[in-house]
Structure 1
Amino acid sequence: MPVNLSYPGVYVEELPGAARSIVGVATSRTAFLGRALRGPVNEPVQIHSFGDFARRFGGIWVEAPLGYALQHYFANGGSDAVIVRLINGGATSRYALAPETGVDPLLIDAASPGKWGNALEVFVDHDVRPAPEAKPDTVFNLRVEERDPLTGALLAAELHRNVSVDPASPRHISRVLAQESALIALPSPFPGSFPLVRPARTTSKAARTVDGSDGTALTHSQYDEASLAGSKQGIWALEKTDLFNLLSIPPYSRDTDVEDSTWSAALAYCKLRRAMLIVDAPSGWKSKDAAVSAARSFALARDENAVLFFPRIKAADPFFENRLESFAPGGAVAGVIARTDATRGIWKAPAGLEAQLNGVTDLEVPLTDSENGELNPLGVNCLRAFPTLGRVIWGARTWEGADSLASEWKYLPVRRLALYIEESLYRGTQWVVFEPNDTPLWAQIRLNIGAFMQGLFRQGAFQGSRPQDAYLVKCDSETTTQADIAAGVCNIIVGFAPLKPAEFVIIKLQQLAGQTAA
């Protein structure tokens, strides 16, 4: 009712609607963890193209498979990735700017560890804008350039004008570099005493006091250890990103597979985040027989949130004159999954004639139908090569999809659809918390969740020709008893009839005898 009814007439009041829309989450945002040339360490960075990856992380690096995985991902239809750069050892380039007076130099670090920082050139000048609130001997201009170490060509440049070493200045160098620079940063913590007098004008580039280095190949320690969870590093750095649906971990190096312990830790984390882990077949699986034997004794526990692909792919490597090299298939597979989600929906298996692997010239182990038939019942998804079609994904089972397990989560699209619904409803029902737990609330919940499920039904996500055959939403006095209400609990039951892929197509032919004339 309007607050003040003071005159005869019509009063208009807007009332909030009962329906609260539930928006489906992204379905194919893929997280990649690995080694890169540059970029923030243990910080998730969202990118949308391989160009983004090249700018932020240095692009393809011959020593690290991460760049190749990203190239294959975007070539196959991926459009949304979260990158976590990990490093084993390594050092950050440091430059010392001599003081104009005094003995304390201003130390400047490259923005991230790696040899790339050795190519920076740092300059200082004093052609500054007069600022009455600033001390004249604290203000200076700082210019930094990045040059190609081989040709000397300018790759990037930044000019930071009127920065100051005065802690009271609004343009203190720490604030400016933290928010505006992609090339340099102040050491944290700053060693020794921070200078209060500006650095001297330079006529040549500043001296480098610490050489940057890339460190060595990754090990399990960079991905998962007890200390990493609390500090949100390694796999746990993904705690700092809102959402991811797929996790791909490229091999430690070109010659070193991901350890079983790392796969196990990644799987446990994926289960916490309602995500799927894409597992690359080990490089030692060089034949069908080796794959069958190893799959039966693979150390990774059978689980519905993991999916394994075999064999490895062969693609052109620009560092070796585009000769074919062997790569883990995870990046390409994640790209195909993203492409299938965009064109057909998450309920469509990312396999079959449409699941072509772009940029893949060959497979490390060619497979026949009968060989595929030995691996498929073990939950191993095969990559196949067919005449005219090229290389395709020819399997859509979870790692728990082995025939002997008879799991209800046998198929990848069924599991991914369930995770999608779970995450969407988890986020879309946050408004329910602290609402009065009674019949009006239950009716609203049924209305809102029912509208979301009906939208999926209309898109063809479920079995059944009628909504009542395809899904159910139940929230009433039967699901939430008086004891539940007293405990502050509201129970919601959501069910759905998933579409399962036609994995085996049987055609029966019968010869008809000629009919005699009547």
Structure 2
Amino acid sequence: MVRCLSENTSSGIFVSESLSSGQPIPVRRDTVAAFLGPAPRGPVGIPVTIGGIDEYLQRFGVSGHDGPLLEVICQFFANGGKNATVVRVCSSARRHHIVFPGPSGALTLEAINPGPYELLRASIDYDGILPTDLDRFNLVIHRLTSRVRPIIERQEVYHGLSVDITDPDFIGHALLGSELVSIKEEIPEQRPDITFCDDIEIGTSYIYVDPEWAETDHLTDYDLIGCNTEGTGLFALDQIPSVDIVSLVTDEQDPGPVALFAAERYCRKQNAILLVDPPTHWQSVGSAIRLARKSDFMSPNVVSYFPRPINSKQQPASVIGALAGTLVSSDARAGVWGMHEDAQLQMRGRVQLPFDLNVEEQQALKRVGINSLRITNPSHLELSGLVTLNRGYGCAAEWDKLSQRRTALFILDNIARSTQWAAFQENNSETWSELRDQVRYFLYELFAEGALFGANAADAGYVICNQQTNSDSTPVGESGISFVVGFMPRGQGMHSFRFHQLPVECRIQTLHIEDLVALAS
């Protein structure tokens, strides 16, 4: 029987179950910040949750290759971030191969993770195999930290593999559970030879991956976006229960309009905020304001700033990691709604700014939805304005304010995810009553926490789920359940939304005054 001894740490991948009708909707939960970008190695298209820099380096890092994603992650944890969700994106699907020769052909193993820095070595021996058992062999696979210091970071050991497809220990079946390699080509009929190197007389011999390969391609917008059906790029985030903050990290050039519009659309669907560095061609306050006004890229789910910092090499840098970490830390202390709209965000970071902004310039930037960045001391930054890139376009003017928009997204997302159970129930009065109780209690808790405004809890929010909301709003041919929720965030009027909960998704529609009049009638 094959025994695989895998010395692997936690995958960083977690599974979350949706709530049932009897469970309260959480008023407090950890803010989920996701970062997509290039890393030297590690899994591609898989969201991995990491709790610190050491864990990031173990999964994605290579000695001597810092990169922009590492810098952003360092900023995140330096500013109070607790857990970061990382999705590695790469420009090529090319993978390393290890080829074992044999009497009837070669056995070829392919690295699970693409890229030149996914450094592997492997060895085959017949230790403990009976002389009469000619189909069996042992396989050892190592993942190494770097080419310069080849320390074993991860190991998989397979005892008693077989090349016989009818054998329970067939290698093709055994390696399905490997996190390091897979079978690349047809498996030979006879077992591969023992690994032997002429220059090694004592100890185990290994076959290493190609040491000369170096990748030079840069990420494109389509690498960042990925594929919906394959779950790569942005769509890899569909594998996690929820996401609140998304950051795109590129190598040497800004994300293009294709990536930005796709990311904004994705964040809008996920009730998330997209953090965006200002384009490098914004060279002055005047050009930033002029180009922002000319741009079609505007959304209440996007946050940007100006000016863009520069590093010690006078190259464009980023503070989106610091911003994400500060937001996560603030949410943990005071809730998403606890950030005052007139306050400034204090962030840790050592960067240079090309110039300082005066008060008039800060106000002018704020009017076009751009936050202002300034250095308060050598190790701290301040972000003021706290606005989204909405600019009052196509949405309520209240969504210009970052704190109010994030509060609304938090409420909408929690209701949508926590009422999913109702889509699998009978659409009847009993289900309506359970759903109303669940949402009503959530709104009461938000009012008690200070997230909603009103003379009392009843004035701060409401929920309607009855025969009218379902018979009038359910599309022909669709199942599910529909209900209306209204709430009054601090400093705003009442906002109302229609939820249509389906087994596979929840559709949320903003209701206007004419919709509410029709509903009341």
TM-based fold match above 0.5:
yes
| 1:123 partner SS | strand
**Pairing of 1:393-412 with structure 2 (within 5 A):** 393-402=383-392, 407-412=397-402
| 1:280 partner SS | coil
Question: What per-residue deviation string (whole Å, max 9, x for no partner) do you get for residues 79-109 of structure 1?
Answer: 232222222236322222222xx13122223
CA contact (8 A) 2:107 2:185 kept: no
Q: How far, CA to CA, are the matches of 1:210 and 1:446 in structure 2? A: 62
Shift of 1:62: 5.1
Say whether 1:421 aligns with 2:398: no
CA contact (8 A) 1:140 1:198 kept: no
Q: How far, CA to CA, are the matches of 1:140 and 1:46 in structure 2? A: 33
Structure 1 partner of 2:223: 222
Provide closer, same or farther for how the CA distance between residues 116 and 308 of structure 1 changes in structure 2, counting only shifts above 3 A: same
Query: Which segment is superposed worse, 460-469 or 134-143?
Result: 134-143
Shift of 1:388: 9.3
| 1:357 partner SS | strand
Q: How far, CA to CA, are the matches of 2:139 and 2:476 in structure 1? A: 66
Provide closer, same or farther for how the CA distance between residues 145 and 37 of structure 1 changes in structure 2, counting only shifts above 3 A: closer
What amino acid is the match of 1:429? T
Shift of 1:372: 0.3
Question: What per-residue deviation string (whole Å, max 9, x for no partner) do you get for residues 384-419 of structure 1?
Answer: 233699411212211113599862322122222222
Q: How far, CA to CA, are the matches of 1:176 and 1:350 in structure 2? A: 56
Structure 2 partner of 1:30: 33
Q: How far, CA to CA, are the matches of 1:97 and 1:19 in structure 2? A: 57
Q: Could you list the runs of 5+ residues in structure 1 that have no partner in the other structure?
A: 1-16, 317-322, 502-518
CA contact (8 A) 2:62 2:146 kept: no
Query: Which segment is superposed worse, 382-391 or 424-433?
Result: 382-391
CA contact (8 A) 1:437 1:485 kept: no
**Pairing of 1:22-421 with structure 2 (within 5 A):** 22-23=25-26, 26=29, 28-58=31-61, 64-89=67-92, 91-99=94-102, 102-117=103-118, 119-128=119-128, 135-144=133-142, 146=144, 148-150=146-148, 152-156=149-153, 158-166=155-163, 167-181=165-179, 184-187=180-183, 190-203=184-197, 204-206=205-207, 208=209, 212-224=213-225, 228-251=227-250, 253-254=251-252, 256-300=253-297, 302-314=298-310, 326-349=316-339, 355-386=345-376, 390-402=380-392, 407-421=397-411
CA contact (8 A) 2:308 2:316 kept: yes
Q: How far, CA to CA, are the matches of 1:19 and 1:375 in structure 2? A: 47
Say whether 1:457 aligns with 2:458: no
| 2:153 partner SS | strand
Question: What per-residue deviation string (whole Å, max 9, x for no partner) do you get for residues 441-496 of structure 1?
Answer: 33322221111111111111112342122212223455455896998674422111
Shift of 1:348: 2.7
CA contact (8 A) 1:92 1:212 kept: no
CA contact (8 A) 2:21 2:419 kept: no
Question: What per-residue deviation string (whole Å, max 9, x for no partner) do you get for residues 496-516 of structure 1?
Answer: 111249xxxxxxxxxxxxxxx
Q: How far, CA to CA, are the matches of 1:481 and 1:141 in structure 2? A: 63
What amino acid is the match of 1:442? W
Shift of 1:185: 0.4
CA contact (8 A) 2:96 2:111 kept: yes
Provide closer, same or farther for how the CA distance between residues 400 and 476 of structure 1 changes in structure 2, counting only shifts above 3 A: same
Provide closer, same or farther for how the CA distance between residues 454 and 384 of structure 1 changes in structure 2, counting only shifts above 3 A: same
Shift of 1:169: 4.2
Provide closer, same or farther for how the CA distance between residues 369 and 27 of structure 1 changes in structure 2, counting only shifts above 3 A: farther
Q: Could you list the runs of 5+ residues in structure 2 that have no partner in the other structure?
A: 1-19, 198-204, 493-521
Q: How far, CA to CA, are the matches of 1:444 and 1:195 in structure 2? A: 62
Determine which structure has more spread, i.e. the larger CA radius of gyration: 1
Structure 2 partner of 1:493: 484
Query: Which segment is superposed worse, 284-293 or 448-457?
Result: 284-293
Query: Which segment is superposed worse, 489-498 or 191-200?
Result: 191-200
CA contact (8 A) 2:137 2:161 kept: yes
Q: How far, CA to CA, are the matches of 2:231 and 2:106 in structure 1? A: 33
Q: How far, CA to CA, are the matches of 1:229 and 1:341 in structure 2? A: 30
Provide closer, same or farther for how the CA distance between residues 438 and 200 of structure 1 changes in structure 2, counting only shifts above 3 A: closer
Q: How far, CA to CA, are the matches of 1:147 and 1:22 in structure 2? A: 43
Provide closer, same or farther for how the CA distance between residues 169 and 160 of structure 1 changes in structure 2, counting only shifts above 3 A: farther
CA contact (8 A) 2:277 2:305 kept: yes
Query: Which segment is superposed worse, 257-266 or 290-299?
Result: 290-299
Say whether 1:466 aligns with 2:456: yes
Q: How far, CA to CA, are the matches of 2:90 and 2:394 in structure 1? A: 40
Q: How far, CA to CA, are the matches of 1:174 and 1:155 in structure 2? A: 25
CA contact (8 A) 2:341 2:401 kept: no
Aligned-residue CA RMSD (Å): 3.4
Q: How far, CA to CA, are the matches of 1:466 and 1:260 in structure 2? A: 45
Provide closer, same or farther for how the CA distance between residues 408 and 221 of structure 1 changes in structure 2, counting only shifts above 3 A: same
What amino acid is the match of 1:199? D
CA contact (8 A) 1:398 1:409 kept: yes
| 1:107 partner SS | strand
CA contact (8 A) 2:362 2:372 kept: yes
CA contact (8 A) 1:29 1:80 kept: yes
How many matched pairs? Answer: 464
Provide closer, same or farther for how the CA distance between residues 366 and 230 of structure 1 changes in structure 2, counting only shifts above 3 A: same
What amino acid is the match of 1:313? P
Provide closer, same or farther for how the CA distance between residues 290 and 185 of structure 1 changes in structure 2, counting only shifts above 3 A: same
